[in-house]
Structure formats: structure tokens, C-alpha cells
Amino acid sequence: MQWTRQNLFSSWGNTLTTLLILAGLLWALVPLLDWLIVSADWRGSKRVDCSSGGACWVYVAERFDQFLYGFYPEEERWRVDLMAVVLLGSLSLFLWSRVSGRTATACVFLSLIIGWFTLTGGESSLPPIETRLWGGMMLTIVLTVGGLALAFPVAILLALGRRSTIPVVKIFCTAFIELWRGVPLITVLFMASVMLPLFLPDGASVDKLLRALIGVSLFAGAYLAEVIRGGLQAIPRGQYEAAAALGLGYWRTMYYVILPQALRHVIPGLLNTVIALFKDTTLVLIIGMFDFLGIIQASLNDQEWLGLAAEGYVFAGIIYWAICFSLSRMSKGIELRSNTHRV
Amino acid sequence: MLIAGAVWLLGNIFDNLADRGIASGFGFLRSTAGFGISTSLIEFSEASSIGRAFWVGLLNTLLVSAIGIVLSTILGFAIGIARFSSNWLLARLAVIYVETIRNIPLLLQIFFWYFAVLRSLPGPRQSHELGGLFFLNNRGFYTPSLSLDAGGVAILFSVILLAVLAILKRGQKRVVKLCAFLASGLFIFVAVGAEFSLPELKGFNFSGGMVLSPELVALVIALSTYTTAFIAEIVRAGILSVPRGQIEAASTLSLPYRDQMRFVVLPQALRVIVPLLTNQYLNLTKNSSLAAAIAFPDLVSVFAGTVLNITGQAIEIIGITMAVYLTISLSIAFAMNVFNRNTALRGTSP
Amino acid sequence: MSEPVIAVERVHKWFGTHQALDGVTLNVKSGERIVVCGPSGSGKSTLVRCINRLESTDSGRITVNQIDLAEGPLAVEQVRKTVGMVFQQFNLFPHLTVEENLCLAPVRSLGLSESVAKERAKEYLERVHIPEQAKKFPLQLSGGQQQRVAIARALCMEPAIMLFDEPTSALDPEMIKEVLGVIAELADGGMTMVCVTHEMGLARAMADRIVFLDEGRVIEEAPPSEFFTAPKSDRTKQFLSRILQH
Ligand SMILES: Nc1ncnc2c1ncn2[C@@H]1O[C@H](COP(=O)(O)OP(=O)(O)OP(=O)(O)O)[C@@H](O)[C@H]1O
Ligand SMILES: [Mg+2]
């Protein structure tokens, strides 16, 4: 009672606001929930099973596997599942305090390399699967994780280079970073998909997915570099001086003393870049790839399932939201924890 | 080694271009376009040059960005401040808005507004209407328009200028002044003979007035609501950066809440907010290139899309497109640096 | 006239599990000058901040001019117009000039016209002996000058009561004197004051009563003559011996 009076009805202006909002919520939420849940169609397998006027979740259920794997052949999808487990396992090493960050990073890179060969089937007895068949959530994750993995080492070098005392290195790194940060991702993707082939000798061709990955990682690399540079700037001079006094050279100082501290500082910033990149991978649909959003968008044109745009976008929205929101919670949690430690 | 590599790459490029029969150089800018563009701020037809198509695209990009920036700034500040409201419900609602919108990809939101909302509106005969002036249907958003001759435009600008001056000038009665300016401006308009034109249903479609295409409306809504969420977060961070003591001092002086915000908190918060805000404006401008996904003719869509398909001159076209965005980004960043250095905000340095 | 202007009755205040005020009772009559002292963390700031509701209380009652602070925002508003406050950290608005700092509240919350407010600002700046600093920004002034501006800012609202929370402890020794001078002049003018301070000289010179707080409780309450010469409790003796050593 007391609480309601203080927080909702403390003055007449306040009361009016509360009533307006409640009315608005009632007006919007009731039909929305009705459409989403109450009168939605959940059971069936055909378009005709959706007749109630609510959301047609039958369509999402029917297409669910395709949303996850794209056109990856059904009997080979175990490879994707297996690699997802391997990737998650190696990522979770970061949460385990007995394993050092360096080991965990190495494990993640190793699992990515294994993953690439398993999924393509290259150089092994598994049947090869062309990357143009990859799609759905799997492709989204490949682009995000792969793009980041390629971008990360470059980003560290760029960040160090931008703080370098050698003018040529500094100017080059600064220009490189600002170039990619100054243009929209879509132009980078166009560049990678249209211009890149022109640079190669006759006959040689690069896989479309690989081209997109290169574009994504150039773009992400520039943003990561700025985040890492922020961390480098936060390291007090004393650390450099102490390392120099111990006779460690530049690279050793960076590798053993500066980078481990700087990277730990910027974990929240890195996670935020991951979230941004995860959302940005949707742009590959513009260059004709079928990522999670792309495959949903394509399925909306299916003659059998016309008129379900709202369902498709709401489903995609919920999934993207759930993933991004949990990542951002994680980032905020880490930030809070490190703030209390620092005090 | 670097030079050898560069030579090798260049060699490849020329071989490839020759093989595919693609011309090089910027001559294509003068050739005839041969395609139409649906939304254009300047005159454009199939007979116009490709160079003109570039300007059409660029102007459309700037148009969308400008509208988006204005809307998202207003909404962003409103929602950012609402997070501190003493009304619990309002504050919660602001949090929910921010956390929902910024965790969903922009492209998905553009698709949602375009395909799920605007394109599935009823046709012109069943338009949603507002007071007989505004109409919304699957062909777009119809509003009354104002046609002006050159003199009218000049007067319009001077009126706006005077209004802005009136706002900026410190003084008690500025609201009164502003109203006076606007009223007199309107009066002059009518006297000069500006013509209002209202949209009207004729047969199967509307004529008269001004129409904003569904693509434009969807893009503007999605861009501004998306950027609003980020601006609201920035505004919140800016307000939090103002020391508690400032608010305590203001409230012991019994300043009303509105005035505490307006005279004490916001001016100080702006030091933190302004640089981050410019960043968001740049993001919005870059994000407007997602127009390509719903075929709104912005720079990327017209130039890196249509023109590239026609001429195939990828290097020149992507180069020009990137250069435009880079120019915008760098000049705004530069202006920001100058602003930061010169306006070393009031009272910060001894 | 015997009605107290400030009446604090059995006030309790918790911060989470920590009890900052433990049944504090204090009555201040019109024109009375109270000095509050006590060791760090004893709840002095909390007490004065409760008087103009910068902190809420958990139980007990506080009335100022017979207005109960718990009644709601309007009551708080009314009280704050008659109670001025000076902070340890000045809390001047750094983006406004000294004159703007002084005029803001009179114009915005009392509704004075700008010119009247400026007159008033000039008058109070003279009162605190820095009329020549009106056009400067706070950070261009010395600490002592800033604190005097803060006092003038509070006075511009023409309050009936002034609260001071350690007004001199963020200052260098030579600046303390100029601020203490201004406070003493105010006291001579008959202003009702509650002042938290470690300046025992000030307490001796101007206080009608000294209140000694420890662990959120009023341990001792006496006129300065008694307080310094014949303290009743051991805690007070200990405190005095420590503070008077320097
Ligand atoms: N906002 C707060 N949140 C939690 N605890 C607080 C808060 N403000 C004060 N306290 C605690 O309440 C107790 C009393 O604080 P108060 O500031 O009133 O002490 P004080 O007597 O003014 O001390 P000092 O002489 O150091 O200023 C302290 O233990 C302090 O840690
Ligand atoms: Mg204190």
C-alpha cells in the first residue's frame, strides 16, 4: 500500500501518468497476448491448420530444423551438433578458474579449426559439404565466432600498432582502423563479395562464406582494436617501467605483463562487440546468404506458407533477443564484479 | 616484397577486368542511367546521368539520417530521463523499451516494420485516416503539402532562423516571443500566397499532398526507434555521471524537479553525452545503408546496388561509396574534436 | 514562542543493516545555535540531512515549523524553502557563474524577477565579503571563497534556519578562518543554526548548546561552558581529550 502510494500515486500528475500507462498496456498487451498465445495455432503440420486468426506457430515448428541448419544435409547434421558442443565446452573453459586464459584461448582456436574441417568435411573421409548449403542459426554462429576468431589477433596487433612510437606503424594502424570504422558494414560486405575476386589470379576463387568472413573480420577487427586500445590505456605507466626494469623486451612485456591485464579490463567491452557483431551478421542476407534471419525471410516467400511475416519476425526477434540479452547481462555482471574488486 | 605483392595484385586486377570486359575509370558517371528512382529530392528520370543518380542516393541517405537524428534525439532524451522518473511504472517501461529494442538486430526491425506492418496495411480505399489530413495505407503515408515559390522559401527560412534565435536568446519571455514569430511567419505565408495541397482519394489512389513511401516510413521508424534505445542509455549514463551532491544542493534550494534537471543536471550531463551522441548519429547514418534490403533508394542501394549491376565497375563504385561515408565520419569526428577542445565546457578549467 | 522550530523525536535510521541513528531526540528553538559534534561515522551528517529530508527516516518524527516531513513531497518542498544547507564539498554548480549559482533558485523556485534576484545576490556576496567574484566560475575560486559562495547561495533563499555539515573540513587552515568569520557573523545576526563541526573554537564562541553524538545516540547535550569544563559521560571526555590535543 505504502509502496504503491509513494511510487505510483504520489501526486496527481503521477497518478495521471500511471493511469495512462495502465490503459495503454491494457490496450496493447491484451490483443498481443491473445494473438501470441491464447488463440494461436500450435498443433498441425499444414497451412490449413492455422485457421483461428491467432499466430501460426505451426509454420515455425515445421521449419524449425531448417532455421537451425539451413540446407545442411539432414543425415550430416550430427556434425553441427557435435561441433556446437565442442565449441561451448571450450568456451566454458574461460569460466573455470583453474584453466588459464591463455590455455582456454588456445583450446577455442583449436576447436574452431577442428570445427571448420568437420563441417566442410575437407581432407577427411566424411562426405564434403559445400558452404553454400550452410544456413540458419548455424551460419549465424559460424560468421560471428569465425569472424571474431579471425579478427582477434589482428585487432591486438592493430591496437598495439596504434600506440606504437614508430610513426609509419602508428599511421598505418590508425588509418586502417578508422577506415573500417568509418564505413557501413554493408559496403564492406559488398567489397568482399564483389571486389575480392578481382584481386585473385585467373581461375582461383574464394568460397563465398570465406569472403563474407573476411569482410566481417576486417570490420570487427577495427572495433575490437579500439576496445583493446582502451584497455591498454588503462594500464599504469609503472607496469611498463617495472617490466622494462626486469629486462623484458617489447613483445615479452606485452605478452606476459600488459595484454593479460588489459584484456581482463575490457572483457565487458569485448562482449558488447560480440553482441553487436552477432546482430550485424544479419547483413549477409543482403549479399545473398541465408543466415538465421535470411532463411526466415526466404521462407516467408514460400507459396505454401504465405502471409506469415509477423510470425517469422516475432520468432526471430525472440531468439535474437534471448541470446543478446543474456550476453549483455553477462557483460554487465562481469563489469560490476570487476568494479567491486578494483575498489 | 610489399611492392612485388602490390604489382602482382594490380596485374590480377587488370587481367580480370579485361577478361570480363569491364571498363575502368570514372567515365560511367556521365553516361545515361536508364533506370528510374522512386524517391528523389531532385529531378531524376531515366535519361539523367549516373552521376545524378549518385546525388539522388546521397540526398536520400542524408534525408533519412536527418529525420532519424531529430526523432531519435527527442525520444532518446525523453526515455533516458524517464528512467529516473519517480513513477515506478514509467521508469520500468523505459527500461523495457531500451532492453527490448537494442537486443534485436536492426535489419530484423526494418523488415518487421516494412513487411509485417506497412506492406500489410489496407489499400488506399480503406486507408487509416487522421482528421482528413493524414492517410496511411499500403502505398505510403500521405500528408498535406505546401508549395512555395522562391520568395516563400526565403521567408520560411528566415522565420525558422528567427525562431531559433529567439530560443537561443536567454530571456524570460522567450516562449511568448517564439509564438509571436511563428504567428507572424504564418501570416506572411498566407499573404505571399503559399498553397496548401491536401491528399484526396481519386479512384484507386490518392492525388495531391505529399506521399512518403512505405520504404521511407519503415526505414525512418526502425532507425529512429533503434537509435533511441542507445541514446536513452547514453543520456542515462550522462545523468548518472553528475555527482549526487549537485542534485542534493539543488533540492535543498527547493528547485522544482523539472528545473533541477534543466538547469543543474542536464547541462553537466551534456559533457558526457555530446561526444557519445555524435557517435550514435554516425551509427545512424551508416545504418541507413540497410535501406538496400528493402530497396529504398539510398546511396548504397542506388549506387552499390543498381549502378554496380549495370556497369560492373566494382572498384570505382565501392570506392566512391566508401569514400562518401568515410568523409562524413571523419568530418564529424573532426568537428567533434574541435568542439571538445574549444568549448572546454563552461567553468571546467581555471 | 516556546514551540521548537525543529523537533526531532526518537528518530531511527538504518542503512541496510547498519543503524546510523538510534532514537535521536533534539529540539531547536527559534534563534538557537546548535553545534553537533562526535566521532567519524557517529551519524552527524545523517542527522542534519534528515532535517531537510535528504535522507528519509525509518521511525520517529521530524517537524520543522510544525510541518511534518513525512507528510509528502509538498511538505518537504515547503520545509526546504525555509531551511538552507551548506555542504562539506560546497556542491556549487560548476557550469554556472557565481552570480548564476546565487540567482537560480530565487528565480526558479521563489519566482523573483532576474533583476531583483541579482540585487539580492550582490547583497549576500557583500555579506560574505566577495562581491568582486560574481562573474567567475566556481572552480576559478579558492576553497574558502567557494564555501562562502555556497553560504551566500543558501542565504539568497532567505531561509529561517541554516544547516551546516562540516563546512570547513575540506579547507586549508588559512581558509577556515574566513569561512568561520562569516558563520560567526550569521550567528550574531540571530539566525537559527544547526552546525556539524570539529571546530571547537567556533562551538565555544557561538553555540547555545552542544550536542554530542556517538553511534547514532545523543550522549550529551549541554551549553559550551558545561560541555568543555564538566562533561558528564566518559565517551565525551575521551573525545574531548583527543580533539583538544592538537
Ligand atoms: N548512503 C549511505 N549508505 C550506507 N551507509 C551510510 C550512508 N550514509 C552514511 N552511512 C553510514 O552511516 C553512518 C553514519 O554516517 P554519517 O555520514 O552520518 O557520519 P558522520 O558522523 O557524519 O561522520 P563523518 O564525521 O565522517 O562525516 C556511517 O557508519 C556511514 O558508514
Ligand atoms: Mg559527515
Buried b (16+ CB within 10 A) or exposed e, C223-233: ebeebbeebee
Give B198's DSSP letter.
-
| Residues B306, B60: Cα–Cα separation, whole Å | 15
Give the mean model confidence (pLDDT) for residues B28-47: 77
- CB under 8 Å to B316, separation ≥6 — which residues? B24, B25, B26, B28
- pLDDT tens, B74-110? 999 999 999 998 888 999 999 999 999 999 999 999 9
| Rounded CA separation A282/A271 (Å) | 18
Domains by residue range for chain C, with CATH: 6-244 (3.40.50.300)
For residue B142, the cross-strand partners are B135, B211
Whether C13 is in the pocket of ligand 1, judged by its Cβ within 6 Å, is: no
pLDDT band at B165 (very low <50, low <70, confident <90, very high): low
| pLDDT for B248 | 92
Query: Collapsing DSSP states into helix, strand and coil, what is residue B134?
Result: strand
Suggest the residue from B96, B109, B233, B322 to mutate for an interface test with chain A (most A CBs closer than 10 A). Answer: B322
B268: containing domain: 240-350
Shortest-distance Cα residue to atom 18 of ligand 1: C43
Alpha-carbon distance of C197 to C163, in angstroms, equals: 11
Shortest CA gap B244–chain C (Å): 9
Mark the ranges of chain A whose per-residue pLDDT is less than 50. Answer: 341-343
Distance in angstroms (rounded) separating the CA atoms of residues C116 and C149: 18
Least Cα separation, residue C94 to chain A (angstroms): 27
Cα gap A215→B221, rounded to integer Å: 28
Q: Please write the tens of the pLDDT for every residue from C8-25.
A: 999 999 999 999 999 999
Domain harbouring B334, CATH code: 1.10.3720.10
Burial readout B184-207 (b: 16 or more C-beta within 10 A, e: otherwise) = ebeebbeeeebeeeebebeeeebe
Mean pLDDT of C84-101: 91
The arithmetic mean of pLDDT across residues C160-181, rounded, is 90
Q: Which amino acid is at B106?
A: L
What number is the ipTM of this complex? Answer: 0.91
Chains contacting chain C through 3 or more C-beta pairs under 8 A? A, B
How far lies C129's CA from each of A26, C92, C120, C188, in Å? 61, 18, 14, 16
Is the pTM higher than 0.95? The answer reads no
Amino acid at A186: I
Chains that touch B (3 or more CB pairs under 8 A): A, C
Contact predicate B77/B231, CB 8 Å:
yes
pLDDT digits (tens, 9 = 90+) for C17-50: 999 999 999 999 999 999 999 999 999 999 999 9
Residue B162 falls within a domain, yes or no? no
Is residue C107 a contact partner of residue C142, using CB atoms and an 8 Å limit?
no
Atom number, ligand 1, closest to the C-alpha of residue C44: 21
Q: CA torsion angle for B252, B256, B258, B263 (degrees, to 10)?
A: -50
Q: Which of A44-48, A318-322, B278-282, C135-139 is least confident?
A: A44-48
Task: Say whether pLDDT at C174 is over 80.
Answer: yes
Q: Grid coordinates representing B277? A: 551522441
Cα torsion A120, A121, A122, A128: sign: negative
At residue B350, the pLDDT reads 40
Q: Which ligand lies nearest to the CA atom of residue C198 in the structure?
A: 1
Average pLDDT for B17-43: 75
Q: Is residue B339 part of a domain?
A: yes
In Å, the largest CA–CA distance within chain B is 79
Q: How confident is the model at residue B195 (pLDDT cuts 50, 70, 90)?
A: low
For residue C22, what are the β-bridge partners? C12
**Structure confidence at residue B34 (pLDDT):** 75
Contact by Cβ (8 Å): C91, C150: yes
3-state secondary structure of A307: coil
State the ligand closest to the CA atom of B244: 1
The residues with which B140 forms a beta bridge, in sequence order, are B137
Closest C-alpha residue for ligand 1 atom 12? C20
Distance between B109 CA and the closest CA of chain A, angstroms: 8
The DSSP element (H or E) to which C86 belongs, if any, is: strand C83-86
Cβ contact (<8 Å) for A325 and B90? no
Q: Is residue B278 part of a domain?
A: yes
Instruction: State percent of chain C over pLDDT 70.
Output: 98
Task: For an interface test with B, give the residue of A25, A67, A190 to mutate (most B CBs within 10 A).
Answer: A190
Q: Does residue C44's CB lie within 6 angstroms of at least one atom of ligand 1?
A: yes
Tell me, yes or no, whether B300 lies in a domain. yes
Q: Tell me B274's DSSP state.
A: H
Counting the structural domains of chain B, the total is: 1
Confirm whether B326 is domain-assigned.
yes
Q: How many residues does chain B have?
A: 350
Strand residue runs (E) in B172-329: 195-197, 200-202, 205-207, 210-212
User: What's the confidence (pLDDT) of residue A132?
Assistant: 84
Structural domain includes residue B225: no
Q: Whose CA is nearest to atom 6 of ligand 1?
A: C15
Minimal-distance CA residue to ligand 1 atom 16: C43
Q: Please give the helix or strand (H or E) that residue A98 lies within, else none.
A: none
Pairing of strands C217-222, C209-214: antiparallel
Among residues A278, A261, A288, the alpha carbon closest in space to that of A328 is found at A278
- What percent of the residues of chain B are helix, what percent strand, and what percent coil, each to the nearest 5? 70, 10, 25
Q: Give CA B121 to chain center in angstroms.
A: 24
Could you tell me if C13 and C20 are in contact, meaning their C-beta atoms sit under 8 angstroms apart? Answer: yes
How would you class B50 by CB atoms within 10 Å of its CB: exposed for 0-12, middle for 13-18, buried for 19 or more?
Answer: buried
Between residues C213 and B14, the one the model is more confident about: C213
Residue B171 has pLDDT above 60, yes or no: no
Report which bound ligand comes closest to the CA of C54.
1
Phi-psi region of B137 (alpha: psi -120 to 50; beta: other; left: phi over 0): beta
Instruction: Report phi then psi at C9, rounded to 5.
Output: -120, 115
Alpha carbon A285 to its chain's center: 15
Instruction: Report phi then psi at C162, rounded to 5.
Output: -120, 135
Cell of A199: 584481386
Minimum mean pLDDT among B15-29, B122-136, B292-306, C225-239: which range? B15-29
C71 sits in which H/E element: none
Looking at the CA of residue C47, tell me the nearest atom of ligand 1.
18
pLDDT on residue A74:
84
What DSSP designation does C130 have? -
Q: What is the CATH number of domain A54-69+130-342?
A: 1.10.3720.10
Count of alpha carbons within 13 Å of B5, Cβ hemisphere only?
2
- Residue A291 pairs in a beta bridge with A136
- The secondary structure element, H or E, covering residue B342 is helix B314-342
**Rg of chain A (C-alpha set):** 25
Angle between helices A12-33 and B88-101 (to 10 degrees): 40
Separation of C9 CA from ligand 1 center, angstroms? 20
